């Protein structure tokens, strides 16, 4: 109850003070408004130099056509004019947008590509109000754009990645990208220049096992992507190094020649992924002495391997050629 009395007393005292002094405040507000009005009149009557951005907007683009660059291009116009004119520009955004009828640059819709060139100085003089302002300079001096027919193309996907396996590990197969190509839609002149479309960069090191990751496709300005990401997968496994001794098959070498050869086996080193290895591989590989009539003249017999299992990578064969022993008569 005490608080309500204090609040009521506070409101009543302020109301009485306002009734007593209100005429003074009204007079002050009136003179302040008049002074402000004349100040604004004087300020906006002065001449200013400003750089004003204007947007060139291409309109009435035919169906199934699009602009290669943006449908809105900007020019910077440095002009001199009164404050009233610049105030009007900044109060109404429509003064900053100048429409351009694209049909003026398309004389034959059967053509797939149409070039647009606009000399900005001449364009500004014809489309801005020279009586109210004076144009001092325009940047850029020329606007260029292209109107192209819209097409669809399937473009391969390039995975922008840096993947490093851990020591003694390697890729079982090449990296898999799914889908490996995607459908794009846009200006034909842009699609014709695209050999591939990239993903965002991805990096992974010390990889020791199978993995997959989703990668975003880098957007292409003015082009619609029917897929926004792809799945990258990699099969990684440990590589095993094996060294085995294999007896040489001399069935192709005449008996009288065999006694002149000292070696009876070769040492073979090979690599294989751990997932593919089994102990039978060591007994599967055969070494054969490839004898030919010219072997005596060349004094060597090459050794070849056969029955090499899938997934086995031969690193070395020692010796790879058999030498004849020199027999003294």
Cα 12 from Cα 10, distance rounded (Å):
6
pLDDT of residue 238: 92
**DSSP run (H or E) holding 31:** helix 2-45
Give CATH for domain 47-149: 2.170.120
Fold match between 47-149 and 240-323? yes
Cα 120 from Cα 53, distance rounded (Å):
13
pLDDT of residue 158: 94
pLDDT of residue 36: 65
**Domain residue extents for the chain:** 1-45, 47-149, 151-237, 240-323
b/e map of 26-49 (b: 16 or more CB within 10 Å)? eeeeeeeeeeeeeeeeeeeeeeee
Instruction: Mark out the alpha helices in 46-169 (DSSP H runs).
Output: 83-91, 120-127
User: Looking at the domain 151-237, which fold is it?
Assistant: RNA Polymerase Alpha Subunit; Chain A, domain 2 (2.170.120)
Nearest to 222 by CA among 188, 247, 248: 188
CATH class of 240-323: mainly beta
User: Which regions in the chain score pLDDT beneath 50?
Assistant: 1-4, 327-329
């Amino acid at each position: 109850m005490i608080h309500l009395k204090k609040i009521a007393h506070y409101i009543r005292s302020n109301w009485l003070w306002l009734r007593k002094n209100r005429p003074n405040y009204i007079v002050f507000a009136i003179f302040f408004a008049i002074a402000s009005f004349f100040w604004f009149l004087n300020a906006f009557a002065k001449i200013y130099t400003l750089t004003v951005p204007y947007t060139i907007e291409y309109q009435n683009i035919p169906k199934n056509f699009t602009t290669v660059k943006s449908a809105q291009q900007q020019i910077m116009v440095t002009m001199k004019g009164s404050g009233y004119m610049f105030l009007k520009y900044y109060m109404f955004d429509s003064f900053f947008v100048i429409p351009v009828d694209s049909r003026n640059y398309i004389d034959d819709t059967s053509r797939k590509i149409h070039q647009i060139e606009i000399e900005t100085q001449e364009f500004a003089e014809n489309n801005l109000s020279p009586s109210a302002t004076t144009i001092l300079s325009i940047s850029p001096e020329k606007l260029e754009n292209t109107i192209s027919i819209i097409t669809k193309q399937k473009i391969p996907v390039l995975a922008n990645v840096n993947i490093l396996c851990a020591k003694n590990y390697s890729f079982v197969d090449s990296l898999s990208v799914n889908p490996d190509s995607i459908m794009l839609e846009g200006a034909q002149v842009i699609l014709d220049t695209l050999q591939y479309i990239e993903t965002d960069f991805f990096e992974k090191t010390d990889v020791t096992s199978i993995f997959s990751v989703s990668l975003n496709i880098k957007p292409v300005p003015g082009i619609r992507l029917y897929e926004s990401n792809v799945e990258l997968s990699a099969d990684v496994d440990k590589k095993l190094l094996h060294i085995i001794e294999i007896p040489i098959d001399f069935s192709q070498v005449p008996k009288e020649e065999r006694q002149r050869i000292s070696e009876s086996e070769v040492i073979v080193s090979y690599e294989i992924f751990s997932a593919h290895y089994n102990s039978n591989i060591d007994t599967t590989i055969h070494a054969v002495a490839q004898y030919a009539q010219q072997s005596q003249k060349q004094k060597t017999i090459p050794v070849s391997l056969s029955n090499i299992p899938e997934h086995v990578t031969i690193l070395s064969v020692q010796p790879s050629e058999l030498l004849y022993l020199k027999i003294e008569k």
